[in-house]
Amino acid sequence: MTEPYRIMTVCTGNICRSPMAEVVLRDRLERAGLGDRVVVDSTGVSDEERGNPIDRRARTALAARGYPVPDRAARQVRADDLAHRDLVLAMTSSHARALRRLADGEAAVAMYRSFDPSAPRVDDGEPEHLLDVDDPWYGGPENFEHCLDEIEAAADGVVAHVRAALTDR
């Protein structure tokens, strides 16, 4: 049997954006018939939230849209994690820079929103931060809804990318 394709989503503390993206991607991959061939997990670049569950506001936003919300604990990304992932999806440009430093060229790091067809196109020389997934932490429920909108908008593009990668294996 072929090894599963492995995706990791990464934000700051691993309690809002990256676990929301993890949940959405699992759902979309399952619906696309790829759930048994792809493993999705998430981490944060910081250890400040290590061991904490998904933020209650993120949990509420996900549940309101019908996503099953797993019990899980936040954890910090390690270089070893990156070496064992086929695709690492950063929520912001600062996360991407931290991941690229940690990976030392040994991981495929991409901006999560680069898979959203309606997101700004960032070519060479343009600022990557234009693709940041907005941080809902300091806001209210509407900020978590907006964050989930951004995550959902890119999810089908990630699925298409993974489908093509699996075809090439």
**Tens of pLDDT along 17-28?**
999 999 999 999
Homologous superfamily (CATH) for 5-167: Response regulator (3.40.50.2300)
- The pLDDT score that the predictor gives to residue 1 is 59
DSSP strand pairing (109-111 vs 87-90)? parallel
- The pLDDT score that the predictor gives to residue 124 is 66
Mean pLDDT over residues 36-57, rounded?
Answer: 98
Q: pLDDT (tens digit, 9 = 90+) per residue, 89-142? A: 999 999 999 999 999 888 899 999 999 999 998 876 678 999 999 999 999 999
Mean pLDDT over residues 25-49, rounded?
Answer: 98
Q: In what order do the strands lie in the sheet with 87-90?
A: 38-44, 5-11, 87-90, 109-111
DSSP assignment string, 15-51: SSHHHHHHHHHHHHHHHTT-TTTEEEEEEES-STTTT
Catalytically active residues are 11, 17, 135
Residue 84 has pLDDT above 90, yes or no: yes
Residue 58 neighbours by CB under 8 Å, 6+ apart? 15, 16, 17, 19, 20, 136, 144, 147
Share of the chain above pLDDT 70, in %: 98
Mean pLDDT across the chain:
95
Q: What is the pTM of this model?
A: 0.96
Taking a C-beta distance cutoff of 8 angstroms, is the pair 110, 131 a contact?
A: no
Residue 32 amino acid letter: A
Cα distance between residue 73 and residue 11, in whole Å: 14
E-strand ranges in the chain read 5-11, 38-44, 87-90, 109-111
Taking a C-beta distance cutoff of 8 angstroms, is the pair 40, 72 a contact?
A: no
Residue 169 has pLDDT above 90, yes or no: no
